[in-house]
Structures are given as structure tokens and as C-alpha cells.
Chains A and B, each alone.
Chain A
Amino acid sequence: MLDLYGTSLSNRLLLGTARYPSPAILADAVRASRTEIVTVSLRRETAGTSKSGTFFELIRTLGVRVLPNTAGCHTVSEAVLTAKMAREVFATDWIKLEVIGNHDTLQPDVFGLVEAARILSGEGFKVFPYMTDDLVVAERLLEAGCAVLMPWCAPIGSAMGPINLSALRSMRAHFPDVPLIVDAGIGRPSHAATVMELGFDAVLLNTAVAGAGDPVAMAAAFAGAIEAGRSAHHAGLLEPRDMAIPSTPVIGKAVFS
């Protein structure tokens, strides 16, 4: 079981809810993924549209937990206020904390991230920080009160997959007891399987499913890959080697010459 801030979860995929072709496909993809946590956000409400509850009512019918984010926030004060407004709307103290530092890469501003994490942890939030794979930043976030870390494996929406495997390996080795969730950059099920094989606890993704030709089928594919990667990690993987080893035993083999 995966334990996130005292909540036990049997599924290791966290799924974003943005960019699906339709609400019905979003709902079917959530079911096919077997996820127990979906990410949501907040936007400026347009007066008189009366649409504000429609999306969230759909999510509530799916029986999943929500993890609100602070997407689009570039300053500590924006992120802190957005987190407080999210807690008001979604009635959860969980927050996926994003403080964006660069428009092109959507790289987190890790200095602002640590500061916002400290403020929010002090106000009772359970912070899920979207971060780089930097070990020192990880240490600072843990000191700030985070009990879960969410390193990127590549820029958001890039679909590049894990571009720095040694950094991810290093993170896993340095923080063996901290739940680590790879958030952002996953493009294919094989990417998700790879980080799960490294021993990561879960994967958070959105675009790889929502942007697929068949998001529902892709959600199921990711679910399978994440389970496979997790099982493989526990089963004990072989390390690569330079030379061949015959898989068929040579002892007792007939000699004809």
C-alpha cells in the first residue's frame, strides 16, 4: 500500500483531469486508470455562467480523492492564496504546490517552492511539491514540512520521459522512506514502468493520457505499466552487463567433435 500523509492507497497512478476531448472521456479514462487521486485546479469564474459546479460534480461522481494544484502561480503569495482558495472549494488540505519559475520550461522556482511549502505546511496543508530532481531542494522541502516529494522527470507536457535517470536513482537512494512521485514529463507507459522499476512510489501524469488517440485505452495501458514496473522493482531486476552469458546450461552438453 502507498501511504500519502496517512492515507493508504492501493493504486499508484495519479491522473490529471485537463485536456480530455470530452467530460465523458475524462470520466471513462479515470475509471480505466483505476486511479484513486485526480488533480484539479481553479480558474476565474465568469459571472452568470452558472457552470462552476458542473466539472466538480462530475469528479465527485467518480469516487476519487482530489489533489488541487496551484498551476500558473509564479510567486509565493499567488501560490499560497490559491492553495487557501482551493482548500475552501475542494474541502481538502492536500495541495499540489507549483511555483513556476520559467515560462518556456515550466521549471519550478525551487526557492519560492520551499518558501511556499513552509508557509502552507505551517497552516496545516499537506503539501505535494512539484520540484526538480535536486537532492538539496528535496532536503529543504522535507525540512519545510513536506512528507511527499514530486520530482519532474522532464518538462511538463514534453512527453520526453525520464531524461536524467541517474538523478532519479540518486533521489530514490537518498530518501528511501519518503514517498516519491514522478510528476511531469511522462509520455508513454514504458516511461512510467521505468521510473517504477527504479523504485518510485507512484506516477502523476495528464497529457500522455488526455492527448492520446484513445485516452481511455491509454489510461488502462498506463495502469498496467505502472503495476508491471512496481512488481518488477520488488522482484529484483538484473543489472546490465557487457558480456553474454548463455541462458541454457552448458554442463552435460553433448560433445560431437
Chain B
Amino acid sequence: MKLTINGEDHQTEIAVLSDLLVWLDYEGDWLATAVNGELVHREDRLGFALNDRDRIEILSPMQGG
């Protein structure tokens, strides 16, 4: 299925958000995730089902003014 991750299209059969983060080699606790414009809490990623054409945002801390 097709997933849009941080604006880039990916083809994958991984259908769970926590598995996707592992597959993409995201590390650390400093991440926030959203699917289709809705926040997915850290504790909800395990078992959060993904569907074809989902839009996923993965954000982390950066410098800001």
C-alpha cells in the first residue's frame, strides 16, 4: 500500500505505526506522530493500524524562536 510519510510517498506492507517507525529506523523517545491530521499518542502507536494512502507526520524537537 502507499503511505505518505513526512510528505514523501512510500510503498510498504507494514500496517502498524510502531512497526513503521522501526522499519524506517526512527530512534529515541523524542518523536510525535500524527496520521491524517490527528495526533497519535506515543502509547497508542503499538497496534495503530495504517491504511492505504494514509498521511503520516513524524516530528522531533528543533531550535525555534
Contact = CB atoms under 8 A, between A and B. Distances in A.
Interface in B33-65: 33-34, 37-39, 41-42, 57-65
A59 B60 CA distance: 14
11 contacts: A16-B65, A41-B63, A41-B65, A45-B6, A48-B25, A55-B62, A56-B61, A69-B65, A84-B39, A85-B39, A89-B59
B10 to A, nearest CB: 10
Interface of B: 5-7, 24-34, 37-39, 41-42, 57-65
A119 interface: no
Contacts of A56: 30, 61
A187 B41 CA distance: 39
Contact of B65 (A18, A53, A90): A18
Given A19-B65, A55-B62, A85-B34, 8 more contacts: A18-B65, A45-B59, A47-B25, A68-B64, A84-B32, A85-B59, A88-B39, A89-B61
B24 A48 contact: yes
A55 B59 CA distance: 13
Task: Give the interface size bracket for A toward B.
Answer: 35 or more
B59 A53 contact: no
B64 A39 contact: yes
A17 B63 CA distance: 5
Interface string A1-19: 0000000000000001111
A79 to B, nearest CB: 12
Contacts of A103: none
